[in-house]
């Protein structure tokens, strides 16, 4: 019998994220790895859907904005004259980190450049969207003591 996903199992998976129209928002064929049930901050609904699954399983998990990436907040969008923006940030997709008066920092992305104006947006790119994770579990096994102690999570949109 193959291993099933439970606490302290090493899990490797690939996924595609689609929007409500079926358009692909993100795709990874490089496996994402994690030790299940440890402090890896996997989105709760995805963690629940993985529980009890096995290597080779495929599943779909739909997330509303509340379950996934939050509502789109217009107040996190700012427009400025392009002349006020350093040259290295004058392209779509540029990322800049801003810090507020309390020392909290937030990442903003350049989303539009038009008519001498530049728009930055602090919302997650999937904010306000219902998204579906199409997950393929590529490996499930017992995690080693080192993996449990150090974690093996790779950066992904599962968080």
Q: Evaluate if residue 11 carries a pLDDT over 90.
A: yes
Percent of the chain's residues with pLDDT above 70: 92
Task: Using only the alpha carbons of the chain, give its radius of gyration.
Answer: 19
9 class by beta-carbon count within 10 Å (0-12 exposed, 13-18 middle, 19+ buried): buried
CA distance 135 to 8: 20
| Structural domains in the chain, sorted by start | 9-69+128-150 (3.10.50.40), 74-121 (2.40.10.330)
Instruction: Tell me the backbone φ, ψ of residue 129, rounded to 5 degrees.
Output: -110, 145
pTM of the model: 0.80
Tokens encoding 97: 């980190």
How many CA atoms lie within 13 Å of 129's alpha carbon, on the beta-carbon side? 17
30 class by beta-carbon count within 10 Å (0-12 exposed, 13-18 middle, 19+ buried): exposed
CA distance 108 to 95: 6
Tokens encoding 5: 């996903």
Which run of H or E residues covers position 146? Answer: helix 145-150
Q: pLDDT tens across 24-74, in order?
A: 999 998 999 999 998 667 899 999 999 999 999 999 999 999 999 999 999
For residue 132, what pLDDT band results from cuts at 50, 70 and 90? very high
* Distance from the Cα of residue 124 to its chain's centroid: 9
Closest CA to 54 of 133, 138, 153: 138
**Average pLDDT across the chain, whole number:** 91
Q: Evaluate if residue 155 carries a pLDDT over 60.
A: no
């Amino acid at each position: 019998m193959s291993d099933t996903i439970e606490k302290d199992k090493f899990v490797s998976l690939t996924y595609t994220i689609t929007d409500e129209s079926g358009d692909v928002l993100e795709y990874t064929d490089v496996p994402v790895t994690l030790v299940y049930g440890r402090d890896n901050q996997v989105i709760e609904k995805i963690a629940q859907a993985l529980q009890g699954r096995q290597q080779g399983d495929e599943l779909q998990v739909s997330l509303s904005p509340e379950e996934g990436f939050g509502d789109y907040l217009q107040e996190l969008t700012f427009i400025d004259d392009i002349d006020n923006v350093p040259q290295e940030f004058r392209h779509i997709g540029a990322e800049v980190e801003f810090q507020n008066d309390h020392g909290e920092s937030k990442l903003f992305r350049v989303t539009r450049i038009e008519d001498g104006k530049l728009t930055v947006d602090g919302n997650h790119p999937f904010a306000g969207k219902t998204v579906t994770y199409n997950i393929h579990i590529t490996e499930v096994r017992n995690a080693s003591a080192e993996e449990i102690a150090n974690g093996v999570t790779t950066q992904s949109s599962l968080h």
